[in-house]
Every structure is written in C-alpha cells, then in structure tokens.
Amino acid sequence: MDWGERVLGVRRYSRNGERAPHKPLLLLYALGRFRNEGAGPIEFSAAEDDLDRLLREFGPPRPTSPGYPFHHLTNDDRLWLVETANGGGSPGSGVGPLRAQRAAGRLHPDLAAALTEDRGLLARLARVLLDATFAPSLHADICQMVGLDLEDAELAVHARPEVVRRDPAFRQDVLEAYEFSCAFCGYDGWLGGVAVGLDAAHVRWRTYGGPDSLGNGLCLCALHHRLFDRGVLGLTGERVITVSQKYIARADTSRSNVLALSGRPAGEPQTGLPVVDPQHIDWHTRQVFRRPARAA
C-alpha cells in the first residue's frame, strides 16, 4: 500500500476553496504521539487543547473546532479510527459529545503496523504532509508542537513532483529583483560575499497553487518571512504592509521591527520587473493573514 499517496489524498481545502489543514494537523499530531508514546488511543478530552492550539497557530484565519478533524478524519480510508467509551463509533464533530462519551482516536491498525515495520515511514509521511500543506518556514514550528524531529528525515519519495520541487532559480531571481534587500525592513546582510538571512518568500504558498515567479515572490528577511507566513504581516492590493491586530508586542524591538511596519509601502523590485500580483496578495489576505489589520 502506498501510504504516501493515501495521506496526500486527505482534504486540504474546504468546499468554498478555503485553506483547510485540519486533517493534516491531526495526522501530524497522531504521528508525533505514535513516535513518542506508541499506538495507544488518544482521548479527545486529553488532546483537545493541543489540537485547538495547532489549529489557532497553523489553521485558517477563522476560528475552527478541534472536533472537526477528530471526527471527519475517520472518513479517510484506513488512516484514523474513533471509538467511544461504550464501544460505539464517533458521535460526530461536536466537542460536547466527544467529551461526554469519552471518544478516543487512534491511527488505523494497518497504518500503525506499517509504521512499526518500516521505521523510516513515519518521517516520510510527516514530510509529505508538511510539504503538501504548509509553507516551509512553518515546518520546524509545527514539528516542535507535535513532537516530531525531522532534521534527518528522508525527503518524501511519494510526494507529487509539483509538491516537492521548487524552481532552483526562484530564490536568486527574487533576491536579485529586490537587490538583496528585505521588502519590509530593508535588511541586506552579507557574509563572505553571500547574502545571509534573506529568503525568497512565496505570497501564495506553493502548496496551494502559488507559482515560482516574480509576481508571486518577495525578498524578505528571515524574521519577516516567518511572520508573513504566520499571518502576522500582510499586504494590501497597493502593496502597503499590514500588521495583524491580534499580534501583541511589548518590547521596543518588537514594536520597532513589526508594529512600525503598519502602513509602510513594501519595497518594489527593480524597474521593469513584475511587482506582486494582486490575486496572490488577495489569496494571502483571505487564507493566511490574521484579520483584522491594525490601524496604520
């Protein structure tokens, strides 16, 4: 059985086209529990807070319920099972019934057996889920929260080529277009003749159809790239920087490095080169940015 293709089949979009990583996050959480505690059941009431935090941190901008993936992942063949304390199946996605009936989920026995037999499978499946669902800058944070260590993981061999392959010229093209300077803060550090701390950020994530093109790229420093992918920072259609009202900054450095960006025009690429396409900005605003924006 090709488990990589099976987990790639897990829904990542809602019916209205919204980014919906609920099931991949639950699977990553279950893989972390399997790695650290074995194949035992995961009671919903014990996992609820962890799943809620994962969804708040890495899910869509709107509020969502941890009961949704806990129940609905059972619809994906041979990945996840849910039983209640009296031996019945899942009572639905409502958190009240899941708590009251002491619902517990676990990886399907076939998947658990495959993970036990092939020690490298867990890391490969986790890598497939991460590469297919989340921007690369978020992978380390997600792994830390679910108890996975993918530092030495084998690159997933089952992922579709468009998921794992990035145009090797994209980074250099974007950095050159913005003259090796962060479009948000102007950082332009070099070491030994090489730019350091600068990334080519995708505005619309590649995992959700974003192309490797200048119209979908921004040169950002590592800090602002991470915050852009987390939804702290965004852009208007006129390429003015926005800051989420939900972001809290107490230290002077946080205020000067983040809050002070609100209302500031983003840096532009060299004359004659494509600016960020408004349709990609719109996707990021709807799917990633944590609205509402602070007043400039």
Residue-wise pLDDT for 234-262, tens only, equals 999 999 999 999 999 999 999 999 999 99
**27 with 73: CB under 8 angstroms?**
yes
pLDDT score of 155: 40
pLDDT tens-digit map of 256-291: 999 999 999 999 999 999 999 999 999 999 999 999
pLDDT score of 153: 45
Confidence of residue 106 (pLDDT cuts 50, 70, 90): very high
Arithmetic mean of pLDDT, 4-16:
86
Arithmetic mean of pLDDT, 207-215:
94
Arithmetic mean of pLDDT, 38-45:
96
The residues pairing with 195 across neighbouring beta strands, listed in sequence order, are 190
Confidence of residue 16 (pLDDT cuts 50, 70, 90): confident
Average pLDDT, the chain: 92
